[in-house]
Amino acid sequence: MPEEMDKPLISLHLVDSDSSLAKVPDEAPKVGILGSGDFARSLATRLVGSGFKVVVGSRNPKRTAGLFPSAAQVTFQEEAVSSPEVIFVAVFREHYSSLCSLSDQLAGKILVDVSNPTEQEHLQHRESNAEYLASLFPTCTVVKAFNVISAWTLQAGPRDGNRQVPICSDQPEAKRAVSEMALAMGFMPVDMGSLASAREVEAMPLRLLPAWKVPTLLALGLFVCFYAYNFIRDVLQPYVQESQNKFFKLPVSVVNTTLPCVAYVLLSLVYLPGVLAAALQLRRGTKYQRFPDWLDHWLQHRKQIGLLSFFCAALHALYSFCLPLRRAHRYDLVNLAVKQVLANKSHLWVEEEVWRMEIYLSLGVLALGTLSLLAVTSLPSIANSLNWREFSFVQSSLGFVALVLSTLHTLTYGWTRAFEESRYKFYLPPTFTLTLLVPCAVILAKALFLLPCISRRLARIRRGWERDGTIKFTLPTDHALAEKTSHV
């Protein structure tokens, strides 16, 4: 294990084989790095590949020299900070004080803080790591940058990670210098303002999918509700009223019945806020009033809700493929064959059921295919290659087509079951009838908005027309003031 832990994150074979990491000429801009950890090694590799001359300061240069690219100079910290004007501080916060002995040599230089606190440290300290570093070195200019970029992204290049680099500092010239370095390394600098924003920048890597929290909780809540409902109908009711043990359905069958319900409702919730927003604009007669906060947040989470809908639909397709592999399904086939023999039925064929299943499966495949197209076009790399009209057509028009196909898929599955008394177990309606409520309401509202009398009014409102668009001017009551008022 010690031998495995001593291996560097960056492979020397990768560094030596990459022609872009060859030695740069002496006139190349010189950059210093304090630290010899994984991030420092990845940073040195990317800087060398971007045409910079790198000097690394280490407490033990002989031991760490072999971990860095051959083009990088590894020396003691005192020598590493003597000539470069820009120095990356790639050490943890608790080791900042060990650099105080270099305060005279660091005077007037730009220190780029790349550290990140843990969640506990972020809550414990009121000031950010960059502000703390600036307090230790008042004669230096501290810039917070590159803390949201991982060592792997630096090693593999910005094509495999996030390209944005938030940068903040109190000195515009220092921010400009670091921004130019970020551009040379293939990243996109984002000005976050003064160094007071460093605490917010340091909190970015601590967030775990903040935009997915509400949609995920919504999907989990729907899954739990539909799963419990299907459990009562498909497992509990046969056990209580018919003394049949069907608890074996819990792992696969009940889950497979629940997943399409969740996917279908989530897909309708993607387009329901747009309907509510349009209705609100029609009622107000203007587009210049803000939506309620809950509706605004709902509109912002539509992408995540749609992707979760596609995820549940894909799982439903996989579970459906697994249904014939179950032992219970094989036993049901054998029992059906035995019953057919005992009943002296040589030919079992129900034309209506055959057609229903063919149409049902075809609509399901079309709906899943359309959802797949929506999911793919929501990826940033694909969305950026589309113009606004193409993106709107895919996400709005094809999305509505996917909702209609899913509705037809559900109606074909239900067929006449909603009108059969035996389907109401414990007096509870079939699950598919509950899932149809929201999607059908969305489809009916969309159809109403297509009426000329409504669509034209809505189009005028979205182009800036207001119902109360006349501007009323009130003359002053004071006659003397009225004489001085311009009537132009």
What the block records as the tokens of 153 is 């992204």
Residue 281's closest CA among 484, 97, 454, 150?
Answer: 454
All structural domains of the chain with their residue ranges: 30-206, 210-463
Sheet with 110-113, strands from edge to edge, namely 73-76, 53-58, 30-34, 86-89, 110-113, 141-144, 164-169, 188-191
Task: Report CA-CA distances (Å) from 353 to 176, 329, 411.
Answer: 70, 19, 14
pLDDT score recorded for residue 76: 95
- The sign of the dihedral angle between the CA atoms of 462, 465, 468, 474 is positive
pLDDT score recorded for residue 29: 87
- The sign of the dihedral angle between the CA atoms of 345, 347, 353, 358 is positive
pLDDT score recorded for residue 21: 40
pLDDT score recorded for residue 12: 40
pLDDT in tens, the chain (488 residues): 344 334 444 444 443 434 334 344 446 789 999 999 999 999 999 999 999 999 999 999 999 999 999 999 999 999 999 999 999 999 999 999 999 999 999 999 999 999 999 989 998 998 999 999 999 999 999 999 999 998 888 887 766 456 899 999 999 999 999 999 999 999 999 999 999 999 999 999 998 888 899 999 999 999 999 999 999 999 999 999 999 999 999 999 999 999 999 999 999 999 999 999 999 999 999 999 999 999 999 999 999 999 999 999 999 999 999 999 988 888 888 888 888 788 777 777 889 999 999 999 999 999 999 999 999 998 887 888 889 899 989 999 999 999 999 999 999 999 888 899 989 999 999 999 999 999 999 999 999 999 999 999 999 999 999 887 654 444 455 544 444 433 33
Half-sphere exposure of 210 (CA within 13 A, CB side): 7
Spatial separation of the C-alpha atoms in residues 388 and 436, rounded to whole Å? 31
- Whether the Cβ atoms of residue 418 and residue 247 lie closer than 8 Å to each other: no
CATH of domain 30-206: 3.40.50.720
Helix (H) / strand (E) element for 76: namely strand 73-76
pLDDT score recorded for residue 330: 87
pLDDT score recorded for residue 170: 96
Spatial separation of the C-alpha atoms in residues 227 and 255, rounded to whole Å? 7
CB atoms within 10 A of CB 331: 10
DSSP conformation letters of 123-185: HH-SS-HHHHHHHH-TTSEEEE-STTS-HHHHHH-GGGS--EEEEEES-HHHHHHHHHHHHHT
